[in-house]
Structure formats: structure tokens, C-alpha cells
Amino acid sequence: MALDQAGKALAAWRRERPELELGGAAVMVRIRRAASLVEEQVADSARSSGIRNPGDLDTLAALRREGEPFEMSPKELASLLLVTSAGLSGRLDRLERAGWVERRANPDDRRATIVALTSTGRELIDEVYALTVALYDRALGHLDAAERETLADLLRRILIDLGDS
């Protein structure tokens, strides 16, 4: 059986620390490695569409998932994206300069702002997300539908157990 990069690292750990039980590591290291490889492909795909920063992609996707009218307060957006207000501000500056989002006064509170996808931003994220889904499908191409469903359920259970709910 051919070894992947994670398998080579685990084999080295087994040689150096044979007393360690590496079953959990064998899974988690591979999850991290697979995610890293796919995210590199997603980032390359996004860059070819003009999105230079993975955080910018996440921001556009968060606004798009929100549904009509594709807008949120900066506070809601920062909380959802797990970034500071300063980190979000830099993203929004870039996205606004590119014409993909706009900031405007909140009609319910003139002191607050709303961040909204522009029509150009919506078209872009729709295109990029379709490419992203295709990359995910290609990465899981050797798994049939039942295997994908089982894997997704197992990962969901792990994430919930880790507090991601």
C-alpha cells in the first residue's frame, strides 16, 4: 500500500515513539492535510477570479449565504467570520475598492453601517463558489454518495463533540 505524506510522518513517529497510540493522529493529520491541499486549490481558483485573499472569499461567501438582500452589520459579519473588527475593516476596504461590497448607513440607526454585496460581488461569489463546490467534489471523487454521507456525518459528530455548534 502506497503511503501518503501523513502516512510517512506517522511511520516516522511509530519508529521514534512506538509506545504512542496514533489512531487519532492518523485521522486528524489526514483531515488537516486534505483540507490544506483542497484549500490551496480553492485559493488558486479564487485568485484566478480576482480574489487575492482567502478571508475576502469567506466574507463574500458569508454575505451571499445570508440571502436577499445579501447584507449584514459589520458586527454580525465579524462574529460570523471569527475576526476582529479591525481585521474585518481591512477586508471590507479591499472588497469595497474592488466594487464587490458597499458600506452604507443603516436606515434603522444612522450611526451604524450595513455591509452589502454589490451585484458584481454577487455574480463573482456565485461563480467562485460553483468552482469551489466542483473542487470539493473532485477531491472526494473516489467516494460514492453513501461514503460521502457517512464521512460528512462522522465529521459533523466530531465537530459537535469539539464544541462547534
Q: What is the pLDDT of residue 2?
A: 78
Q: What is the pLDDT of residue 97?
A: 96
Q: What is the DSSP string of 60-99?
A: HHHHHHT-TT-EE-HHHHHHHHT--HHHHHHHHHHHHHTT
Tens-digit pLDDT profile for residues 19-54: 999 999 999 999 999 999 999 999 999 999 999 999
Q: What is the DSSP-derived secondary structure letter of residue 56? A: H
Tens-digit pLDDT profile for residues 104-116: 988 888 788 999 9
Burial of 78 (0-12, 13-18, 19+ CB in 10 A): buried
> What residue ranges do the domains of the chain occupy?
35-140
Mean pLDDT of the chain: 93
Nearest to 102 by CA among 66, 58, 72: 72
Q: What are phi and psi of 47, to 5 degrees?
A: -60, -40
pTM: 0.82
Beta carbons of 43 and 78 less than 8 angstroms apart = no
Q: If pLDDT is split at 50, 70 and 90, which confidence band does 94 have?
A: very high
Tens-digit pLDDT profile for residues 60-88: 999 999 999 999 999 999 999 999 999 99
> What's the CATH class of domain 35-140?
mainly alpha
Distance separating alpha carbons of residues 148 and 92, to the nearest angstrom: 35
CA distances (Å), 32 to each of 106, 149, 154, in order?
40, 19, 15
Question: Mean pLDDT throughout 145-157?
Answer: 96
Distance separating alpha carbons of residues 39 and 58, to the nearest angstrom: 12
